[in-house]
C-alpha cells in the first residue's frame, strides 16, 4: 500500500519540503533506503548515511533540514514520527474476524463480532473479548477475564481468570498473566500455600513480552499502568504496582508488593526487592539491584565491570578484605596526621 | 460459603476467644477487613491496624491476645493458621471431572475418573493421571508421565515423557518439565548433542512456577524433593537434586548436577554453578552467585549495592585497581611499622 | 536395539581393543555400567571408577588404554565419540509421519510427507515443513515460516511468521521465535511502538532451549549461526547476530543489535548490552556483564564472590567509598615519597 508524501505529512501533522507526490511504500534505514522508502535521521553519527541516502523522503528535525537535499518531513520528534508512519505503512497482518471452528469458547463468554479467535484458542466462562481483539492460536483466556478493544493475545499466551486489561494491549506468546503469586507461610519445615485471591489489571496500551509472567495479587490486585512496556522474560510478582509509561527491558524481576512510579526505565536484568517504593522518573542501568526505596528521580547502577578473568579474580578476592583495607587506611591516615 | 468461627477453631485446632457463632466468609487484610472477614496479626508494624480492625475475627498469637478486643483465634503460628483457613474459605475453582471432547488422550493413558482434562489438553501413551488431578487447557503430558493425585497442571504447561510427580503438585502455566538437559561434547568447533536419558522426578506438594524449566537428567534423574516451592522463570538444569522444603524466588538458575539441601531459601535471581553441594538450611539473599560448595548453614550474599550512576561509576572503576590498592596499603603499613 | 562393538568401532572410525562381538545396548556412567553398557573415560578424577568398571566396553584415549583391562574403543576425543554412540544407541522416540487429525494446517502450507504434525499443532499459510520434521503438540508455526529437514519443534513452542531455520534444528517447548522486538520511540511521556519488520533466521544444527525467546529484527533479521546452542530462558533481542558454534547456558540475555562471534561460550546468566561487537572465541564466566566491545579472544568475568551476609555487608558498604579510599592511598603514598 503506497501513500503520497503529502498524505503522510497531513495525517501526522508534519511540514513537507520537496515533492508532495512522492510515493511512499515502506520504511527503511538510511543505508538501505531507495525509491519508495521513507527513512529518518536523528543522530549525528548517521550524518554521512543521510547525505548519501536515496530514500524517497527522510523525516528529520528543523535543525537538520540543511543536511539533506531530498524530500523531507520536518518533525519535532523524528523518531516518534517515524514510528507512527511505520505503523501506518506496515500494519500488522489481521486474521479475519470470527471464531475458528477449532477454538473452544464457553457459551457465556462475550466475543465482539469484530474479534478474531484463532485455532485452538480457549475462552472460558464470562470472559469478555472486545472489538477488534485477536486471540491467537492456543491462547488461553480464563473465566471472567476482560480483554479490551484492539488488544492482541498472541499464540500460546495464557491469561488467567479475572485478569482485566484496557484497550490496545499486546500480550506476546508464552506470557502468563494471573498465575498464583508466590505466597507460602512456613510451619516448621513445611510451606503452607496462601491462596492468591487478587487479580491482574493492565491499563491501556500495555505491552507484555514473550514468556513474561505477571502474577495475580494475594489480596488486592497486581496493577500495571497505562502505556507500560515490558520486554521478554520479566517477572512481576504479586501486588506489584507499576506506574504509567514505565518500561523494562528483558530479564528484570520485581518482587512482591513493590510500587514503581511512572516514566521509569529499567535496562536488562534489573532486580528489585519486595515491599519497596520507587519514585517517578527513576532509571536503572543493566543488572542493577535495588534493595531500598528510591525517593529521588535519577539514574542508578550497581555491579562490577568486566575484566579478564585472571585480573578479575585477583581483584574479586580483595573485595572480601575491603573493610579491613578501609580500617588500615584509616589507621595510616591517623598516624600520618600525628606527624 | 460461610463457616462459624467455632467450626474453624475446631478444624484447625485453635483456641477461640469471643463469639463462637461469628460467621466467617472470607479472608482480608487488617486494614480492609469488615463483617464476615477473618484476618491475622503477626507483625508489630501492624499494631495500629489491628486495633482499628473491624474483622469478624483475627488470628493471633497468645502473646498478642491483649492487643485486640474482638473475636480471636489463638495460634502458635498465626500466619500458617491463616494460610490453612484461607485455603478452606477460598477453595480453587474446580472444573468438572471428565475429559473435554477437544482433549487428545491416548488409548493407553490411565485417567482417574475423578480427574479433569481440559480443552485441547494432550495426554500421550501410558501416562497416568491420578485422582482429582486437573490438566489445564492446552497442557501436554508426555508418554509415561505420572501425575500424582490432587495435582494441577495449569493451562499451556508442558510435562515431557517419563516425568513423575507425587501428590498435590502444582505446575503453573508455561512451565516445562523434562526438556532436554543442555549437554554437548565439543568436537573441534562443533558441539555434539549428548542424549538426555534421565527423567524428572518431583516429590509431593511441589510447586513449579510459571515459565520455570526443569530439565531431564543426562543419565539418572533430576530430582525435586517433597514440599519444594519454585517461583516463576527459574531454571533447574539436568541432574540437579533439591532437598525437601527448599524454596526459590523467581529468576534463580541452578546449573547441572548441583545438589541442594533441605529447607534452603533462595531469594530472587540467585545463580548456582554446576557440580556443587549446598548443605541443608543455607539461605541466599537476592542475586547471590554461588561458585563453591556451602558446607555450613547460614546466610550468604554477594553483589554490589545500588548507587547513583555517576558515583557508582567512579567506584566501579576503582574495583579494577583493588589488588594494586591492597599492595600499596601493605607497603604503607610496612613502612609505618619500620618507624 | 543392540550392536556389536565391532559395528560401533567401524561406524565411528574407532580402534577396537578386546572382543569385537561384545553386545552393546546402551550407555551408562562408569559407576553404574554393567553388561551391555558402554561408558567413557576422559577425566583422571574417575580413574578408580574406570578400573572398577564392569561395562561391556569403555571409550578412552590412546594415552589411557593402559588403565583399563576390558573391551575398549580408542578415540582422539572420547567424549565426542561417546555422544555420537549415545545418539545411535538411544535414538529419540519418533512419532509416526503424518498430520494428526486435531492439527490445523492451512491449505497453502507445504508439509513433507515424512514429517509428523502432532495433536493441535497449528501451521499457518505458506509455511514449509521439511522432511522428517516433527512439530509437537500445540506448537504454532506462523505464516511463511520455514522449518528445515530433520528439525523438531517441541510441544507448545511458538515459531512466528517468517522465521526460517536450517536442518537438524531443535526448538524446545515454550520457546518463542519471532515475537516483536522491543522497540519504542519516546514521545513526551508516551512510548510509540516501532513495527518490527525483520525476521528470525537460524542456521543448521541450532538448538533453542525451553522458554528461550529470540525476537524478530526491526529492519533486517535476527540471525543465529550454524551449530549455535542456546540453553533455557535466554533472551536474544532484535537484530542480534550470533556466530557459528557459539553456546550459551541458561538465563543469558543479549540486548539489541549486538554481534557475537563464533565459538564463544557464555556461562549462565551473562548479560550483554546493546550494539556491541564481541569477537570470536571470547568466553564469559557465569553472571558476567558485558558493557563494551570485546576485541580479543580470552576469558572474561565480572561480579563479587559469595560471602557470609554479615561479612559481605561490611565490605559492600565500603565499595561505595572505594574512590575515596583510592584517593587517600594516593595521598599517603605521596607523603611517604616525600620522606
> What was the pLDDT predicted at B280?
98
DSSP state at residue A294: B
Residue A81 lies in a domain: yes
Query: Helix or strand or coil: residue C336?
Result: helix
- State the DSSP string of B280-323: TTEEE-TT-EE-S-B-S-EEEE-----EEHHHHHHHHHHHTTHH
Q: Which three cell numbers stand for residue B153?
A: 497442571
Chosen domain end from B61, B89, B117: B89
Q: Are A137 and C140 in contact (CB under 8 A)?
A: yes
Within an 8 Å CB–CB cutoff, is residue A125 touching chain B?
Answer: no
- Pair (C166, C223) in one structural domain: yes
Q: Which three cell numbers stand for residue B322?
A: 583493588
- Pair (C85, C119) in one structural domain: no
C-alpha separations of C124 from C4, C120, C141, C208 in Å: 46, 13, 6, 21
- Pair (A240, A284) in one structural domain: yes
C-alpha separations of A293 from A170, A224, B277 in Å: 30, 19, 35
Query: Helix or strand or coil: residue C6?
Result: helix
- Pair (A19, A42) in one structural domain: yes
Within an 8 Å CB–CB cutoff, is residue A285 touching chain B?
Answer: yes
**pLDDT digits 0-9 by tens, A272-321:** 999 999 999 999 999 999 999 999 999 999 999 999 999 999 999 999 99
> What was the pLDDT predicted at B339?
67
Domain count, chain A: 3
Extract the residue ranges of chain B whose pLDDT is less than 70: 339
Q: Which three cell numbers stand for residue C10?
A: 567401524
Which of B104, B273, B302 comes nearest C304 by C-beta? B302
Whether residue A23 has pLDDT greater than 80: yes
Q: Which of B150, B172, B238, B245 is catalytic?
A: B238
Chains touching chain A at 3 or more Cβ pairs under 8 angstroms?
B, C
Whole domain around residue C313: which residue ranges?
309-338
Residue A155 lies in a domain: yes
- Pair (C123, C240) in one structural domain: yes
**pLDDT digits 0-9 by tens, C35-55:** 999 999 999 999 999 999 999
Q: State mean pLDDT over C251-257.
A: 98
Q: State mean pLDDT over A75-101.
A: 97
The values of phi and psi at residue B255, to 5°, are -80, 170
Q: Are B255 and B272 in contact (CB under 8 A)?
A: yes
Q: Of B31, B145, B135, B40, which is closest to residue B84 (Cα–Cα)? A: B40
The values of phi and psi at residue A11, to 5°, are -60, -35
DSSP state at residue A195: P
Query: Is there a contact between B209 and A301 if contact means CB atoms under 8 Å apart?
Result: no
- Pair (A123, A236) in one structural domain: yes
Collect all residues of chain B within an 8 Å Cβ-Cβ radius of residue A321. Answer: 326
CA B92 to chain CA centroid, Å, is 18
First to last CA, chain A: 83
**pLDDT digits 0-9 by tens, C155-172:** 999 999 999 999 999 999
Query: Is there a contact between B104 and C120 if contact means CB atoms under 8 Å apart?
Result: yes
> What was the pLDDT predicted at A337?
79
Collect all residues of chain C within an 8 Å Cβ-Cβ radius of residue B322. Answer: 322
Q: How far apart are CA C162 and CA C160, in angstroms?
A: 6
Q: How far apart are CA A307 and CA A304, in angstroms?
A: 9
**pLDDT digits 0-9 by tens, A123-140:** 999 999 999 999 999 999
Within 14-73 of C, beta carbons closer than 8 Å to A belong to none
- Pair (B19, B43) in one structural domain: yes
C-alpha separations of A30 from A26, A27, A87, B43 in Å: 13, 9, 18, 61
Q: How far apart are CA B185 and CA B192, in angstroms?
A: 5
* C100 tagged catalytic: no
Chosen domain end from A89, A111, A129: A89
C-alpha separations of B13 from A310, B9, B73, B77 in Å: 60, 6, 9, 12
Collect all residues of chain B within an 8 Å Cβ-Cβ radius of residue A235. Answer: 231-233, 250-251, 268
> What was the pLDDT predicted at A339?
67
CATH of the domain at B24: 3.40.1390.10
- Pair (C288, C185) in one structural domain: yes
Residue A45 lies in a domain: yes
Q: Are A112 and A94 in contact (CB under 8 A)?
A: no
Residue with cell 569403555: C58
The values of phi and psi at residue B213, to 5°, are -120, 135
C-alpha separations of C104 from A101, B70, B136, C120 in Å: 10, 61, 20, 7
Collect all residues of chain C within an 8 Å Cβ-Cβ radius of residue A305. Answer: 289, 291, 302
CA B264 to chain CA centroid, Å, is 11
- Pair (B10, B106) in one structural domain: no
Q: Which helix or strand (DSSP H or E) is residue B327 part of? A: helix B322-338
Distance in Å, alpha carbon of B185 to nearest chain C alpha carbon: 5
First to last CA, chain B: 83
Q: How far apart are CA A85 and CA C195, in angstroms?
A: 10
Q: Of A198, A289, A283, which is closest to residue A241 (Cα–Cα)? A: A198
Query: Helix or strand or coil: residue A98?
Result: strand
**pLDDT digits 0-9 by tens, A38-65:** 999 999 999 999 999 999 999 999 999 9
Q: How far apart are CA C144 and CA A17, in angstroms?
A: 39
- Under the banding of pLDDT at 50, 70 and 90, the label for residue C2 is very high
> What was the pLDDT predicted at C337?
79
Task: Provide the b/e sequence for A269-295 (b: ≥16 CB within 10 Å).
Answer: bbbbbbebebbebbbbbbbbbbbeebe
Determine the residue among B268, B287, B318, B323 to mutate to test chain C binding: the one whose Cβ has the most chain C Cβ atoms within 10 Å: B318
> What was the pLDDT predicted at C338?
77
> What was the pLDDT predicted at B143?
98
> What was the pLDDT predicted at A114?
98
Query: Is there a contact between B235 and C250 if contact means CB atoms under 8 Å apart?
Result: yes
Dihedral sign computed on CA atoms, order B53, B59, B65, B71: positive
Determine the residue among B195, B210, B294, B309 to mutate to test chain C binding: the one whose Cβ has the most chain C Cβ atoms within 10 Å: B195
Q: Of C172, C289, C159, which is closest to residue A270 (Cα–Cα)? A: C289
Distance in Å, alpha carbon of A245 to nearest chain C alpha carbon: 6
> What was the pLDDT predicted at C335?
87
CATH of the domain at A276: 2.160.10.10
Q: Of A217, A264, A261, which is closest to residue A242 (Cα–Cα)? A: A261
Collect all residues of chain C within an 8 Å Cβ-Cβ radius of residue A308. Answer: 298-301
Query: Is there a contact between C250 and B211 if contact means CB atoms under 8 Å apart?
Result: no
Q: Where are the alpha helices (DSSP H) in chain B?
A: 5-11, 47-51, 78-89, 309-319, 322-338
Which of B190, B255, B300 comes nearest C245 by C-beta? B190
Q: Please work out, in degrees rounded to the nearest 5, the angle formed at the alpha carbon of residue C98 by the alpha carbons of C96 and C99.
A: 120
Q: Which helix or strand (DSSP H or E) is residue C284 part of? A: strand C282-284
- Pair (A183, A277) in one structural domain: yes
ipTM over 0.85: yes
Q: How far apart are CA B162 and CA B141, in angstroms?
A: 9
β-pairing, C23-24 with C3-4?
Answer: antiparallel
Chosen domain end from C47, C63, C89: C89
Q: How many CB atoms lie within 10 A of CB C202?
A: 29
Q: How many CB atoms lie within 10 A of CB B275?
A: 11
- Under the banding of pLDDT at 50, 70 and 90, the label for residue A338 is confident
Helices and strands, number each (H, E), in chain B: 5, 40
First to last CA, chain C: 83
Q: Are B153 and C150 in contact (CB under 8 A)?
A: no
Within an 8 Å CB–CB cutoff, is residue A303 touching chain B?
Answer: yes
Q: How far apart are CA A163 and CA A146, in angstroms?
A: 6
Collect all residues of chain C within an 8 Å Cβ-Cβ radius of residue A79. Answer: 185-186
Write down the pTM of the prediction. Answer: 0.97
- Pair (C162, C226) in one structural domain: yes
Q: State mean pLDDT over C303-307.
A: 93
Q: Which three cell numbers stand for residue B51?
A: 486495633
- Pair (A221, A239) in one structural domain: yes
Whether residue A4 has pLDDT greater than 90: yes
Q: How far apart are CA C290 and CA C280, in angstroms?
A: 15
Within 155-194 of A, beta carbons closer than 8 Å to B belong to 156, 158, 160-161, 174, 176, 179-180, 182, 184-187, 189-194
- Under the banding of pLDDT at 50, 70 and 90, the label for residue C339 is low
Q: How far apart are CA B31 and CA B50, in angstroms?
A: 8
Q: How far apart are CA C287 and CA C294, in angstroms?
A: 16
Amino acid at each position: 500500500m503506497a501513500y503520497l508524501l503529502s498524505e503522510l505529512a497531513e495525517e501526522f501533522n508534519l511540514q513537507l519540503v520537496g515533492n508532495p507526490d512522492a510515493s511512499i511504500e515502506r520504511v527503511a534505514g538510511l543505508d538501505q533506503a531507495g525509491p519508495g522508502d521513507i527513512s529518518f535521521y536523528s543522530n549525528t553519527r548517521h550524518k554521512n548515511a543521510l547525505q548519501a541516502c536515496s530514500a524517497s523522503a527522510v523525516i528529520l528535525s528543523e535543525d537538520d533540514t540543511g543536511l539533506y537535499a531530498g524530500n523531507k518531513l520536518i518533525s519535532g520528534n523524528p523518531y516518534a514520527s517515524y514510528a507512527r508512519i511505520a505503523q501506518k505503512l506496515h500494519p500488522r497482518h489481521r486474521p479475519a474476524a470470527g471464531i475458528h471452528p477449532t477454538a473452544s469458547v464457553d457459551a457465556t463468554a462475550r466475543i465482539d463480532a469484530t474479534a478474531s479467535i484463532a485455532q485452538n484458542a480457549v475462552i472460558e466462562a464470562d470472559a469478555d473479548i472486545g472489538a477488534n481483539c485477536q486471540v491467537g492460536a492456543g491462547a488461553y483466556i480464563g473465566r471472567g477475564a476482560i480483554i479490551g478493544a484492539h488488544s492482541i493475545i498472541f499464540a500460546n499466551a495464557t491469561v488467567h481468570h479475572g485478569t482485566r486489561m484496557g484497550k490496545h494491549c499486546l500480550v506476546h506468546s508464552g506470557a502468563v498473566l494471573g498465575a498464583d503469586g508466590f505466597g507460602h507461610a512456613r510451619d516448621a519445615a513445611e510451606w503452607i500455600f496462601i491462596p492468591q485471591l487478587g487479580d491482574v489489571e493492565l491499563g491501556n496500551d500495555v505491552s507484555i513480552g514473550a514468556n513474561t509472567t505477571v502474577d495475580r495479587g494475594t489480596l488486592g490486585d497486581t496493577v500495571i499502568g497505562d502505556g507500560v512496556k515490558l520486554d521478554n522474560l520479566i517477572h512481576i510478582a504479586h501486588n506489584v504496582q507499576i506506574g504509567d509509561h514505565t518500561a523494562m527491558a528483558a530479564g528484570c524481576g520485581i518482587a512482591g508488593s513493590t510500587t514503581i512510579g511512572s516514566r521509569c526505565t529499567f535496562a536488562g536484568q534489573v532486580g528489585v526487592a519486595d515491599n519497596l517504593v520507587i519514585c517517578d522518573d527513576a532509571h536503572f542501568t543493566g543488572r542493577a539491584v535495588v534493595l531500598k526505596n528510591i525517593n529521588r528521580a535519577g539514574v542508578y547502577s550497581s555491579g562490577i565491570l568486566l575484566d579478564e578473568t585472571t585480573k578479575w579474580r585477583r581483584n574479586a578476592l580483595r573485595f572480601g578484605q575491603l573493610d579491613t583495607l578501609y580500617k588500615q587506611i584509616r589507621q595510616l591516615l591517623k598516624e600520618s596526621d600525628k606527624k
